Amino acid sequence: MKLLRHGDRGAEKPGMMAEDGTIRDLSGIVDDIAGEVLLDAGLEKLRGIDPQSLPMVDPSSRLGACVGGTGKFICIGLNYADHAAESGMDVPPEPVIFMKASSAICGPNDPIVIPRGSTKTDWEVELAVVIGKTAKYVSEDEALDHVAGYALTNDVSEREFQLERAGTWTKGKSCDNFGQIGPWLVTRDAVADPQNLKMWLKVNGETKQDGSTNTMVYGVRHLVSYLSQFMSLHPGDVISTGTPPGVGLGFKPPQFLKAGDVVELGIEGLGEQRQDVIAD
């Protein structure tokens, strides 16, 4: 099942993708793709609906982030060994955790906005895990029971803010429109193996990243279990699980985004995104 949110920013309505590719409106059934809707019971209720019975949404409608009510946007750094190598860093002995401000979240095709003073805005295609059931101290065997589904995300990053200024990575990760999520939330039953998904990213039509989630150092089960030892994970929380090699920082010389560029990215089975790059 593919769930989504459509409409103007800040006023998105819930929806689902029908098998014929049309977008159907769920606002007469649920208020949002958030909260209790993400529990197993909530998702099962939606599975029982015939999408053809729902109102059709104009295909030109804007898509918002595919999940609402996100309290935490948690990111995992250096989670692909070859990406760690291109960054000149060692594979960490435990997952590197940092937070991305929820205000960075936007729709899958909303523009990447280069913040004022930025000279090193970069791209990162990533698999996002959306929490369905609250997770606290869960084992790896139980971990996927707490996942509502998966989505595509672009963990846009400003490398100078992230790495060359004092403090943590958060300020280089949290600028407005640095967190495109979607187009869909694909429920976990529809993803046979989250550790075997092809992923790619292009800038101006040129492939920059071409990888697979099978090269992740710490997989989804481990990450959900690991994070739940330190904090409760709640419905709608998003875990962005790291990126394969090919980010702008890794090129010699480095390559960074500029106004006028176009970024396209995708993950097998989870859809695609397209973003125009603009200056703030």
pLDDT in tens, the chain (280 residues): 999 999 999 999 999 999 999 999 999 999 999 999 999 999 999 999 999 999 999 999 999 999 999 999 999 998 988 777 777 777 889 999 999 999 999 999 999 999 999 999 999 999 999 999 999 999 999 999 999 999 999 999 999 999 998 888 899 999 999 999 999 999 999 999 999 999 999 999 999 999 999 999 999 999 999 999 999 999 999 999 999 999 999 999 999 999 999 999 999 999 999 999 999 9
Q: In this structure, is residue 158 part of a structural domain?
A: yes
Structural domains of the chain, count:
1
Q: How far is Cα 80 from Cα 33, in angstroms, rounded to an integer?
A: 30
Kindly report the CATH number assigned to the domain that includes residue 191.
3.90.850.10
Q: In this structure, is residue 229 part of a structural domain?
A: yes
Q: In this structure, is residue 225 part of a structural domain?
A: yes
Q: In this structure, is residue 176 part of a structural domain?
A: yes
Helix (H, G, I), strand (E, B) or coil at 266: strand
Q: In this structure, is residue 39 part of a structural domain?
A: no
Q: In this structure, is residue 275 part of a structural domain?
A: yes
Q: How far is CA 201 from the centre of its chain?
A: 14
Q: In this structure, is residue 32 part of a structural domain?
A: no
Cite the beta strand spans of the chain per DSSP E: 2-6, 13-17, 23-25, 73-77, 96-99, 105-106, 112-114, 121-122, 125-131, 147-155, 157-158, 179-181, 185-187, 198-203, 206-212, 238-240, 262-267, 271-279
Question: Kind of pairing, strands 198-203 and 157-158?
Answer: unpaired
Determine the structural domain holding residue 197 and report its residue range: 67-279
Q: How far is Cα 42 from Cα 181, in angstroms, rounded to an integer?
A: 21
Tokens of 185: 């939330």
Q: In this structure, is residue 21 part of a structural domain?
A: no
pTM of the model as a whole: 0.96
